[in-house]
């Protein structure tokens, strides 16, 4: 660029740059935090002249106009006010921390990722932190202190004495007037001026070339003819971009929390040398190679092929700008597409092209790039959540006239992004610092991320032509840890279920085994009937591997029939005689059954041809000598249970005796039961959980009380009173039905164990149950293909929105695997695979489907079942269920899991239950529809609740209020029975204001936008608003309705209607501002220079 003309030494007012506007605005969202403080920490060893250092600091500020610049908003514009050299004085604050013995010199942290400087600084003999540790703590407090951006200099200096001739200099500069390259200029300039002062020399002459303001004006001038072309480019380049869904330890807060921390590691010389060699071969720099490795890692962690990260780009194109202090940097999105079979070599090439493209179009300020992308605005970064930076390390600084100087790692008290990867590369190694938001990540998670990066990079460099999906992520320690966490306790082989119950009958023959209504069956009577019926079934053709249909209404005969089939050596096929005859015919035909156990009343529902029957109420075999019970082999078929199939054909899941016996061991671990206990069995016989209800208590000498009513039907409350059960099992949806009925809810009080299964359990429901019963709550998960249960979580935390599914049950191996069958790192979603003793034989008569779903998985212990469920494992080993893989939908290009929206809706204090499902409208557009059981709240309130917690793409188009969520016969949500919503379709902008509040808000919009306000439902940003105009609107709203809104909320409340509703609701108890008060009434919110 050409040399700039000389400017007057007096104060000068210039337009702020777009980057300064962005940073200024983001700090208005959280004015009490120094979000954009640039820290620098110098260790000074040797004699130090404090007065000379203070003079050098003043000279430094006089030399660089950026340090004399403040930011002032006036008439809706943000301005740079550059004061003259004599109008600003820098101050050097001083504190003496040498209060006792302690380590004299600061340690520079452990590049291997160990404890940082503060942890290594030590304590004095009295247990008090030493002066060096106190220096780091004091520096962190200094870095947290916000700047008054309208009051230069935007530089603070604090000198901390840590010992004799030992100091730490803490420099803090605001990012609006400084970038990373500027820090080196400032440090070198400060040390140089210190040497000049000590030698009695005058200050160095000011730079001959342009200053920061000149550069800013030149950049804007250069941008004018290119702006439209660049806008068009970024609009194309960022079409359909979606934020990364990274594994976190906590849900994302509604309002961004910038509290931060940092962890460190080193790549190692060998890794760096290998990376440089590969990068040279591919014609890219090592910085691009490191960026490619980060993108590969994010691709693996998120499961997304479209990876978009931020990258700072220096705009110091001209050598004349080398010594300029200022924010000569722009942040640009780098979008890298990594399809399934992409290798690391190809990732390097793709990243190189993406970087070159971003840099070539990087003159467009970031705010304008965001506008071009047309992404939903929010209080957080709208395009990316991860930043990747790179710099070359400088050598140790020293001067013969001053102390030895060493730059130290500063603590990072704030985090601007979810994760920021900062690489510092020197000749022999590269250090990596990962800055992270503590609201989202725990230190252990970030340490694991560092390990994953090292592991992935090592494997990629060893085999650059191997697909990224095949590269390992887990460290060897994590692999061993994951294998241990995935395995339940060992299960010893047990006798068949019938033999276990027969043993109980021999020990307690007169105890009540089964009850239903007024009927009671002792153990002796139970086993006598089972033996005689089994003998009759064998006469009718029953035997090993032969299915026998059991179609018995809910009665004391139901467990008798199931056990009789097992005792005959056959496998039972349970069906509900109340199901449609056509469905029963399909099951009978598909199973190949030629024999059925049923009753006179239920027989007409079954096929009339080709099926021999044993009628329990009409063909009771006569008493005789005890018949032996068949002793099956462990691998012999025990039962076939039919589940719905996506093709319309029901799937018959084949379970063997070893698995059924293993289920008994599982239940023993969940909550022991024994003589004197009663389990009230309410589940349908076609729901696999019924086997835990009808069979397991009998193996332990307890009583099975068969509910003739079932959940949700009249009579259950009376059964609870009659049987006073100790154990009960229901789905979460059914539990809500129990709580909704006062009499039924009262019957829950005496329970000892309440087992919930079949659906996700939520914290709000746990809280409701805690008020209704003292029972211990158990959350169990498992598909029919894994013999009922695979994981167990006891005593769930009622404050968790979604209750975890827990750890593997006895005999199970439960792994979260990626698409290549590799264990996912903790927190990374993957498909749940189940191995172990409970795995089914497969699907009856469907070998191809069996091969697809039951396959060899070494990570899951061998042969395993692919559940199709999405889950993740926490670092403590507990599993979290995230929903069905086939329930994931894309809404406006964003991948959405409806279960996450359901959890957010159920966090509303007056929502008892919620279900979210996708619907496709007449125009072919997919949108989410929420169904809720609310109490005293309307749709608008619920939508506002969701907008404050979820990205816009995840907010449903409508919330339909229901008295209750419809359920299937098995007690699960019946999605097909949900009513069609009536969604109000408004034209863009909708109508004119209708209430006083809407008219007042619309008038403020008109003032800010400079034209008549749009309709009540028009979006502020789509109507011409930007960040500065949003601040202006906020000030007017604050003046009219003090305290009713926060600036950050306006990103979610982007319409006149939403803002008017919010201020009406919140201003009812707040005093209104003076009539006619204008924006100047918000003086406390503005900072004048």
**Per-residue model confidence as pLDDT tens digits over 481-531:** 999 999 999 888 899 999 999 999 999 999 999 999 999 999 999 999 999
pLDDT score for 376 = 66
pLDDT score for 18 = 86
pLDDT score for 81 = 92
pLDDT score for 890 = 58
Tens digits of residue pLDDT in 670-685: 999 999 999 999 998 9
Kindly report which listed range (243-252, 636-645, 899-908, 1011-1020) carries the lowest average pLDDT score: 1011-1020
Statement: residue 107 has pLDDT above 50: no
Statement: residue 635 has pLDDT above 60: yes
Question: Please, which pLDDT band fits residue 3 given cuts at 50, 70 and 90?
Answer: very low
Question: Please, which pLDDT band fits residue 79 given cuts at 50, 70 and 90?
Answer: very high
The pLDDT mean for the chain works out to 86
Question: Please, which pLDDT band fits residue 29 given cuts at 50, 70 and 90?
Answer: confident
pLDDT score for 1015 = 79
Question: Please, which pLDDT band fits residue 989 given cuts at 50, 70 and 90?
Answer: very low
Could you give all domains of the chain from N- to C-terminal order, each with its CATH number? 12-215 (3.30.559.10), 238-400+411-485 (3.30.559.30), 491-662 (3.40.50.980), 888-977 (3.30.300.30), 996-1085 (1.10.1200.10)
Give dist(CA 263, CA 258) in Å, integer: 16
pLDDT score for 198 = 94
Tens digits of residue pLDDT in 701-743: 999 999 997 776 778 999 999 999 999 999 888 898 899 889 9
Give dist(CA 416, CA 409) in Å, integer: 18
Answer with the residue of higher pLDDT: 379 or 877.
877
Statement: residue 1083 has pLDDT above 80: no
pLDDT score for 8 = 47
Statement: residue 541 has pLDDT above 80: yes
pLDDT score for 32 = 80
**Chain centre distance of CA 132:** 38
pLDDT score for 410 = 83
Q: Which residues contact 388 (CB under 8 A, 6 or more apart)?
A: 290, 291, 294, 309, 310, 311, 334, 420, 421, 423
Question: Please, which pLDDT band fits residue 624 given cuts at 50, 70 and 90?
Answer: low
Output the six-digit token pair for 586: 């399909």
Tens digits of residue pLDDT in 162-218: 999 999 999 999 999 999 889 999 999 999 999 999 999 999 988 777 888 888 888
pLDDT score for 824 = 92
Kindly report which listed range (325-339, 512-526, 627-641, 1024-1038) carries the lowest average pLDDT score: 1024-1038
pLDDT score for 62 = 93
Tens digits of residue pLDDT in 771-793: 999 999 999 999 999 999 999 99
Statement: residue 747 has pLDDT above 50: yes
pLDDT > 70: percent of the chain: 89
Q: CA 680, 686, 689, 691: dihedral to nearest 10 degrees?
A: 70
pLDDT score for 186 = 94
Residue 789 in contact with residue 663, Cβ under 8 Å?
yes
Statement: residue 299 has pLDDT above 90: yes
As a 3-state breakdown, the chain gives helix, strand, coil percent values, each rounded to 5, of 35, 25, 40
Give dist(CA 573, CA 87) in Å, integer: 91
Beta strands in 6-133 (DSSP E): 12-15, 37-45, 69-74, 77-82, 92-96
pLDDT score for 119 = 38
pLDDT score for 1068 = 57
Statement: residue 274 has pLDDT above 80: yes
Answer with the residue of higher pLDDT: 747 or 648.
747
Give dist(CA 338, CA 350) in Å, integer: 8
pLDDT score for 132 = 78
- What 23-28 contacts at long range (C-beta under 8 Å, 24+ apart), as own/partner pairs, is 23/175, 23/176, 23/327, 24/71, 24/73, 24/78, 24/149, 24/176, 25/1027, 25/1028, 25/1030, 25/1031, 27/146, 27/149, 28/1031, 28/1047
DSSP per residue, 740-782? HSHHHHHTTTT-SEEEEESS--BHHHHHHHHHH--PEEEEEE-
Q: Which residues contact 492 (CB under 8 A, 6 or more apart)?
A: 665
**Angle at alpha carbon of residue 427, lines to 422 and 433, rounded to 5°:** 15
Statement: residue 992 has pLDDT above 50: yes
Q: Which helix (H) or strand (E) holds 182?
A: helix 180-199
Tens digits of residue pLDDT in 300-326: 998 889 999 999 998 887 888 888 999
DSSP per residue, 195-239? HHHHHTPPPPPPPSS--HHHHHHHHHHHHGGGHHHHHHHHHHHTT
Q: What residues are paired with 913 via a beta bridge?
A: 933
pLDDT score for 625 = 65
Question: Please, which pLDDT band fits residue 749 given cuts at 50, 70 and 90?
Answer: very high
Statement: residue 544 has pLDDT above 80: yes
Question: Please, which pLDDT band fits residue 120 given cuts at 50, 70 and 90?
Answer: very low
In 384-486, which ranges are continuous DSSP H helix? Answer: 443-462, 476-485
Q: Which residues contact 754 (CB under 8 A, 6 or more apart)?
A: 727, 728, 729, 730, 735, 748, 769, 773, 775, 776, 777, 778
Give dist(CA 524, CA 766) in Å, integer: 40
Tens digits of residue pLDDT in 553-566: 999 999 999 999 99
Statement: residue 377 has pLDDT above 80: no
pLDDT score for 922 = 52
Q: Which residues contact 447 (CB under 8 A, 6 or more apart)?
A: 113, 263
Give dist(CA 939, CA 960) in Å, integer: 7
């Amino acid at each position: 660029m050409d040399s700039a003309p000389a400017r007057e030494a007096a104060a000068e007012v210039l337009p702020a740059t777009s980057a300064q506007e962005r940073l200024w605005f983001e700090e208005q969202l959280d004015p009490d935090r120094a979000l954009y403080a640039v820290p620098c920490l110098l260790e000074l060893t040797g004699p130090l002249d404090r007065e000379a250092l203070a003079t050098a600091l003043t000279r430094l500020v006089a030399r660089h106009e950026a340090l004399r610049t403040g930011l002032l908003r006036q008439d809706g514009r943000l301005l740079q006010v550059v004061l003259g050299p004599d109008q600003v004085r820098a101050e050097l604050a001083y504190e003496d921390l040498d209060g006792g013995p302690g380590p004299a010199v600061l340690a520079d942290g452990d590049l291997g990722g160990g404890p940082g400087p503060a942890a290594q600084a030590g304590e004095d003999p009295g247990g008090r932190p030493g002066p060096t540790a106190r220096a780091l703590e004091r520096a962190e407090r200094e870095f947290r202190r916000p700047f008054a951006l309208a009051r230069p200099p935007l530089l603070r200096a604090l000198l901390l004495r840590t010992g004799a001739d030992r100091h730490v200099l803490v420099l803090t500069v605001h990012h609006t007037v400084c970038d990373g390259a500027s820090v080196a200029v400032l440090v070198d300039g400060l040390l140089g001026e210190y040497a000049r002062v000590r030698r009695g020399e005058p200050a160095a002459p000011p730079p001959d070339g342009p200053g920061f303001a000149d550069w800013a004006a030149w950049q804007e001038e250069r941008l004018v003819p290119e702006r439209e072309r660049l806008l068009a480019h970024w609009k194309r380049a960022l079409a359909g971009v979606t934020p990364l869904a990274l594994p976190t330890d906590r849900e994302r807060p509604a309002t961004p929390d910038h509290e931060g921390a940092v962890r460190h590691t080193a790549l190692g010389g060998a890794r760096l040398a290998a990376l440089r060699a590969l990068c040279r071969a591919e014609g890219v720099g090592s910085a691009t190679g490191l960026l490619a490795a980060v993108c590969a890692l994010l691709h693996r962690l998120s499961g997304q092929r479209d990876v978009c990260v931020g990258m700072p780009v220096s705009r110091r194109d001209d050598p004349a700008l080398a010594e300029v202090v200022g924010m000569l940097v722009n942040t640009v999105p780098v979008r890298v597409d990594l399809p399934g079979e992409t290798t690391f070599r190809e990732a390097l090439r793709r990243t190189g092209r993406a970087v070159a493209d971003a840099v070539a179009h990087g003159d467009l300020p970031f705010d304008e790039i965001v506008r071009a992308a047309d992404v939903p605005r929010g209080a957080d970064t709208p395009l990316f959540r991860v930043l990747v930076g790179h710099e070359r390390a400088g050598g140790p600084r020293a001067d013969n006239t001053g102390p030895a100087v060493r730059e130290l790692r500063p603590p990072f008290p704030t985090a601007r992004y979810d994760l920021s990867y900062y690489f510092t590369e020197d000749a022999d190694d590269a250090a990596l610092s990962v800055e992270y938001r503590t609201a989202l990540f725990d230190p252990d998670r970030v340490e694991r991320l560092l390990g994953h990066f090292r592991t992935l990079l090592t494997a990629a460099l060893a085999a650059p032509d191997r697909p990224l999906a095949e590269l390992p992520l887990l460290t060897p320690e994590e692999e061993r840890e994951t294998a241990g966490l995935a395995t339940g306790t060992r299960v010893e082989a047990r006798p068949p279920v019938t033999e276990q119950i027969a043993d109980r009958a021999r020990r307690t023959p007169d105890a009540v085994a089964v009850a239903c209504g007024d009927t009671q069956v002792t153990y002796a009577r139970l086993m006598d009937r089972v033996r005689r019926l089994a003998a009759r079934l064998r006469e009718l053709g029953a035997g090993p591997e032969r299915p026998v249909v059991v179609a018995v209404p809910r009665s004391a005969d139901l467990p008798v029939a199931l056990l009789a089939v097992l005792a005959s050596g056959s496998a039972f096929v349970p069906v509900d005689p109340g199901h449609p005859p056509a469905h029963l015919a399909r099951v009978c035909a598909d199973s190949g059954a030629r024999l059925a156990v049923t009753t006179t009343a239920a027989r007409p529902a079954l096929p009339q041809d080709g099926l021999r029957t044993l009628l329990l109420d009409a063909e009771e075999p006569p008493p005789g000598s005890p018949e032996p019970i068949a002793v099956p082999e462990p691998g012999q078929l025990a039962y076939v249970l039919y589940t719905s199939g996506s093709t319309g054909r029901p799937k018959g899941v084949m379970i063997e005796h070893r698995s059924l016996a293993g289920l008994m061991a599982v239940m023993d671990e969940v909550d022991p039961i024994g003589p004197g206990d009663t389990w009230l069995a309410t589940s349908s016989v076609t729901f696999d959980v019924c086997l835990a209800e009808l069979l397991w208590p009998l193996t332990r000498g307890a009583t099975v009380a068969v509910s003739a009513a079932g959940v949700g039907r009249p009579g259950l409350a009376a059964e609870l009173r009659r049987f006073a059960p100790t154990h009960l099992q229901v789905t979460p949806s059914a539990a809500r039905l129990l709580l909704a009925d006062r009499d039924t809810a009262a019957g829950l009080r005496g329970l000892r164990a309440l087992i919930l299964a079949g659906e996700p359990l939520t914290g709000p429901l746990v809280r409701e149950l805690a008020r209704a019963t003292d029972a211990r709550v158990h959350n169990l998960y498992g598909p029919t293909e894994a013999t009922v249960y695979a994981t167990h979580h006891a005593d769930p935390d009622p404050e968790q929105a979604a209750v975890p599914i827990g750890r593997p049950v006895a005999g199970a191996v439960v792994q979260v695997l990626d698409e290549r069958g590799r264990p996912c790192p903790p927190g990374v979603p993957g498909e749940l695979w189940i191995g172990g003793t409970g795995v089914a034989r497969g699907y009856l008569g469907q070998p191809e489907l069996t091969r697809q779903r039951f396959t060899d998985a070494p990570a899951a212990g061998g042969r395993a079942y692919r559940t199709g469920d999405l889950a993740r494992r926490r670092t403590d080993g507990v599993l979290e269920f995230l929903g069905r893989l086939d329930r994931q939908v894309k809404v406006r290009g964003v991948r959405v899991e409806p279960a996450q929206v359901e959890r957010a809706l159920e966090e509303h204090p007056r929502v008892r239950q919620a279900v979210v499902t996708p619907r496709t409208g007449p125009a072919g557009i997919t949108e989410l529809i929420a169904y809720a059981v609310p109490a005293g709240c309307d749709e608008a309130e619920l939508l506002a609740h969701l907008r404050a917690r979820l990205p816009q793409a995840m907010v449903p188009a409508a919330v339909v209020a229901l008295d209750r969520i419809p359920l299937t016969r098995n007690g699960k949500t019946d999605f097909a029975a949900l009513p069609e919503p009536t969604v109000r379709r408004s034209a863009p902008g909708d109508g004119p204001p209708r209430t006083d509040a809407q008219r007042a808000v619309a008038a403020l919009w008109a003032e800010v936008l400079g034209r008549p306000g749009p309709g009540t439902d028009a979006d502020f940003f789509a109507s011409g608003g930007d960040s500065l105009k949003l601040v202006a609107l906020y000030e007017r709203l604050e003046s009219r309705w003090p305290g009713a809104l926060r600036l950050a909320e306006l990103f979610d409340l982007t319409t006149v209607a939403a803002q008017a509703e919010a201020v009406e609701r919140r201003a009812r108890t707040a005093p209104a501002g003076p009539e006619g008060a204008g924006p100047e009434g918000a003086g406390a919110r503005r900072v004048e220079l």
